[in-house]
Every structure is written in structure tokens, then in C-alpha cells.
A and B are shown apart, each in its own frame.
Chain A
Amino acid sequence: MSGPLEHLPALAVVIPLMTAPVIVALRRPWAGWLLATLVSWASLAMSLLLLQQVLETGPFSYLMGGWAAPWGIEYRVDQLDAFVLVIVSAIASVVSVYARKSVEAEIEPDRQYLFYAMFVLCLCGLLGMAITGDAFNLFVFLEISSLSTYVLVGMGRDRRALTASLRYLILGTVGATFYVIGIGLAYMMTGTLNMADLAQRLPAMAHTSTVRAALAFLVVGIGLKMAAFPLHAWLPNAYTHAPSAAAALLAGTATKVSVYVFLRIVLGVFGATGLLTALPVTQVLMVLALAAMFICSAVAIWQPDLKRALAYSSVAQIGYILLGVALLSETGLAAGIVHLFNHAVMKSALFLALGAVALRVGSTRIDAMRGIGRKMPMTMAAVLVAGLSLIGVPLTVGFVSKWTLVEAALDDGMWPVAVLILASSLLAVAYVWRIVEAAWMAQPGPELAHVREAPTAMLLSIWVLAGASVWFGIDATRTLGVARLAAQTLLQGVAP
């Protein structure tokens, strides 16, 4: 690498970080929106360049300030990092276009610029988590993204958003603090915070209870952040009451990046210690993942508010990802990683569409949406497409994830797990079809008389994601190809 491209890894993080105070200084909603949108698209461009770079030359490092690792902070970019960077920045880009109308409707004018400031800070934190190769630096970015997320959630127009935000803050802080404890214990034993260095030095200490405790703290801490069942208590309220644009951003990115951190730390750093199989980490993970898939999908069926139903569905979908991880095989891991992307695309599309419904109808409760299919046909068609993807119907991204995951289970001879995966996807049929029946198979009531189709910019964003969930379902070679490479790289360091 040479020229301006050399500093891409740093720029991807620094630019959003620097934009936030500028937005605050300008105090204008439109300026905030414009900057946030520009920054998001710029990070998407940078992420794509980084991905291309990784696919061409393999993983590479960037040394912050020129200090060599392990003393300086190393930014390391491999296939997984680049893939997650692309997911986060792509979702942020689409949401930023959408946000203008949605934010205008949901947040008081004098606070709108703060929304955009928090938006770019959140983006900065998420990108930073994905790119850094330093375990403590990761914590800093984790908190940057978390603190901005708490604010974003708290900006919801319902007062319950405040309690949801505080609850998220408390549980999120507990999770982050657990993470710091885990990293501290690991540091105590190895004297390093560089992930690659940690991965090299930890196996020699694997027998000590300090390292085992470190692993336990990390698993629970990251588990809280990624809403792994049963540590998901903060998520449903946070997603339900957050402003629509924020909910879409979080649903697509926040838990995904936390899953990435799980992969990076638990598999990447602790993989070589052999503790994952020596302790029942994978077994516990698998049982919890299956429980999430069934329990949270079932809970989603009975929710009167669709945003809440989708929030529970998110916890269930995290279960699919973790199940792929728990299989600890190349195909399983690839299934989990590709589902990071696939789920981000479809769930964000759904939250965006519900945001449009909230804008026009004023509610996302299912009984307020009867007959909405005739009033907002394009929006609801996108809901249908993304919903079918959630079920895993062929030609959608959901099918690709499901196929790969079942294939991985069968390759390992786990027939019952394969059956359970497919059975749980039938629960998705129930909660998706509830929407279909309400939207199309009922006559719109008088209260929907003045409801119109969503604004064009919102429709565009919704359909970009809905379209992507079909596009990458018809041709999954690229996404699955990258996911497979990422899985291979990750598994190199994992002891069998």
C-alpha cells in the first residue's frame, strides 16, 4: 500500500470521530444530516476498498502512530474485519439517507443535530471495534458506540425510551466491565494487549485458573453486549422504543459487531488455548443458541407491537449465528458469518419499513396496521420480501444462511440439530404471516383513510435493503465466499 490509501484503516475511524464535534458545533439539523450521510458513504467506500485489498493481498496491519506492535496499537484487517466493516458502513449509509424524514417526524427540531452527532459517533465506535487489533482499544470503541447508542435509544418519542435506555446502559456497562476484567486478567498473565500476541502467549498459560476466569468473564461480558440468550433482557425494549432510524441502525449493526468481537476474542484469541473444547463452551453455546431460536421466536409470535416482535426475532437470529459458531467447523462458522450480513440486511429493511409505517400511521401495533397493504403497497411489499427472507424462503438471503447452517450441522452428523434449525424457522412463518394477514387480508379502517405511501427517500432506502436481501439470495457466491475465507482465517488459530 502506498499514498493516501495507506492510512485507510485509521481514516475509516478518525473521520467519523472528527465529524461528531463538527455536527455539534454547527447545530443545524440539515448540516448534521448531510455530514452524517457523507461520512457514512465515505466509510462505505473505504470499507469496500479495504475489503478489496484484503481479498487481493490477504490480511495486513496498520500501526497507529507508527509504533510497532505489540507496544503500539495495531489495526489489523483480515477478511472478517473487512466484511464486518462493509456490513456496518453499508447499513449506516442506507439508514442515513432514510433518517432525514424519519428524524424530522420523531425528534424535536432543536435536538435533531444531536441525533446525527450520536449517529456518527456510534458508527465510529462500531467501525473501530471491527478494525482494531488491540484488546483494550476495542473496549474504548465499544464504549464509544455504547454511550452513543444509549443516547440514540433515549431519544425515542415515547417516555418508555428513557427507561429502556437506562436499562440498556446498566446492562451494557456491566457487560463492558466484565470485558475489561477479562482482558485485565489475560493481561496479568501475558503482559500484552495485542490480540495476535495474546493468542500466541495464552496457550502456555491455559491451565491457570486466571486464564479460565478471563475466558468466563469475556464470554459473559460479550454475551451481554450481543444479547445472547438469556442475556438479552435489554434488547426488546431498546429496539422497540428507539427512534425508527436508530432501531434500524442498531438492529443491523450493534449486535453484529458484538458477535464479531465474540469471534475475534473467544475464537481468535482463546481459540489456541484449547479451552473452548476443554471447558464446555461450545456445548453451552449450542444449547443456548437453540433455546434462543425457539423461545424468542415463540415470544415474537405473541407480541402486539411489531417492532417488539422483530426485536425478539433478532435475539432468535443471534441464536442462529451462535449455533454456526458453536459447530466450530469451517462451514458452520461461514454460516454464522454470512448470517451477520444476511440478517443485518433483512432486519434493517424491516425496521426501516416499520419506521415508515410509524411515520404514516403513528403506531407499529399490529391491530393499527389492518389493511395497510392497500395504503402503503411498496412499503409493505418490502416487509413481505424481508419477511420471506426471515423465514428462509429460496431466492432470499435467509435461505442461504439456513442452507449453509444445516449443511454444517449435517456435515458434523448432527441430524437432530439440523431438524431443530429447520423447525425453528417454521416459527418465523407464524410471525411473518401474521403481518401478511393483517396488512393485506383485512379492509383498511377509517383511521387509515389519510395514510399515504412513505416518502420517496425512505422507500428508496427500504428497497435498497429489501432488494439486497433478494440479490444476495440469488447470487450468494460473493458473500459466502468471503465468509468462508474469514472462517478459514479464524479457524487457523483454533486448536482442534
Chain B
Amino acid sequence: MEVPGLFNYWMAIVLMMAGLYTVIARGNLVKKLIGLGVFQISVFVLYITMGKIKDGTAPILPASGSAEGVVFSNPLPHVLILTAIVVGIATTALGLALVVRIHEAFGTIEEDDIQAIEESEA
């Protein structure tokens, strides 16, 4: 297996795992959201990588007007991931807004402390 050739995929997996681990293991809500962001970015990397074709160039028509013989990268995954990035930004923004509200309401953003407060209320 040609590890260097699959470098991007390996990186995607590393990012994915790091992100997921942060989401699960960190009690600080902001860190959780950072983890979530990393996790999402790993998918962006995955998509962008799969659109890359060996020796392909950006999918723009050459000035000559003829695309004959030119190898293009697949533009579709890149376009898709633009959408996903927008979604990711929205999610992170909403998440952070919620964290701000939680900080106002509970006075803390540590999950354990919040849980203790909630349990004392129930």
C-alpha cells in the first residue's frame, strides 16, 4: 500500500478521530465545539481529496478555448464541500451562541458542573 499516495486519506482519518475524541472526552463546551469543527473538517479534506485527479489542473477552460487533452480535477466534490463548509460555519456559530447563552444561564461551561446543577433542579 502506497502510504504517501494515500496521505490525505490518512490525514482525514486522523482528523476525524481527533475531532470525535475531543467531542466525547472534553467537558468544556467550547472545546467540544472545536472538536466538532475538526471532525467536520476531516470530511472536507476527504471530499477535496477524492476530487483530485493525478496531474489534473483546475477545471477552467484554457485561454485557447479548447479543452482537448487537458486533464481536469473533478470540480463537483469541491463545490459540494463549499456547501458543507457553509453548513459547518452555521453549526459552529449556532453552537457557540448556545454556549454563550448557557454561560449566562448556568454561570459555567463545564459539562460536569452544568449536569450537577441540572440534577439538583430535577
Contact = CB atoms under 8 A, between A and B. Distances in A.
Contact of B39 (A165, A166, A169, A174): A174
Nearest to B35: A170
Contacts of A160: 118, 121
Contacts of A151: 94
Nearest to A144: B87
Contacts of B94: 147, 150-151, 169
A193 B77 CA distance: 10
A21 to B, nearest CB: 15
B91 A173 contact: yes
Nearest to B90: A147
Contacts of A184: 43, 46-47, 50, 77
B114 interface: yes
A143 B87 CA distance: 7
Contacts of A170: 23, 32-33, 36, 95
Interface in B9-36: 20, 23, 29, 32-33, 36
A34 interface: no
Contacts of B118: 160, 163
Interface string B102-115: 10011000000010
B83 interface: yes
Contacts of B102: 159, 162-163, 166
Contacts of B98: 150, 154, 162, 165-166, 169
Contacts of B67: none
Contacts of B91: 143, 147, 169, 173
A143 to B, nearest CB: 5
Interface string A166-196: 1001100110110011001001100001000
A177 B39 contact: yes
Given A173-B91, A174-B23, A180 B84 contact: yes
B77 A166 contact: no
A209 B120 CA distance: 48
Interface in B72-100: 76-77, 80, 83-84, 87, 90-91, 94-95, 98-99
Given A162-B105, A166-B98, A169-B94, A180 B43 contact: yes
A174 B88 CA distance: 11
Q: Which DSSP category, helix, strand, loop or mixed, fits chain B's interface? A: helix
B3 to A, nearest CB: 18
Nearest to A71: B76
Given A140-B83, A151-B94, A180-B43, A173 B36 contact: yes
Q: Which of A147, A154, A162, A187 has the most CB of B within 10 A?
A: A162
Nearest to A308: B122
A176 B43 CA distance: 11
Nearest to B106: A159
Given A140-B83, A173-B36, A163 B43 contact: no
Nearest to A158: B121
Contacts of B33: 170
Contacts of A139: 84, 87
A188 B90 CA distance: 26
Contacts of B23: 170, 174
A136 interface: yes
Contacts of B101: 154, 162
B40 A173 contact: yes
Interface in A33-72: none
Nearest to A304: B122
A453 to B, nearest CB: 29
A426 B33 CA distance: 42
A136 B80 contact: yes
A165 B100 CA distance: 13
A165 B29 CA distance: 12
Contacts of A169: 91, 94-95, 98
A154 B33 CA distance: 17
Nearest to A178: B43
Contacts of B80: 136, 193
Nearest to B114: A163
Nearest to B33: A170
B105 A166 contact: no
A159 B118 CA distance: 9
B20 A174 contact: yes
Q: Which of B33, B98, B114 has the most CB of A within 10 A?
A: B98
A181 B20 contact: no
Interface string A132-161: 000010011001000100110010000110
A144 to B, nearest CB: 9
The 8 closest A-B pairs by CB, nearest first: A159-B105, A143-B87, A166-B98, A162-B102, A188-B50, A162-B101, A173-B91, A169-B95
10 contacts: A147-B87, A151-B94, A159-B102, A170-B23, A170-B32, A170-B33, A173-B91, A177-B39, A177-B40, A181-B46
Interface of A: 136, 139-140, 143, 147, 150-151, 154, 159-160, 162-163, 165-166, 169-170, 173-174, 176-177, 180-181, 184, 187-188, 193
Given A184-B77, A193-B76, 5 more contacts: A139-B87, A150-B94, A169-B98, A173-B40, A174-B23
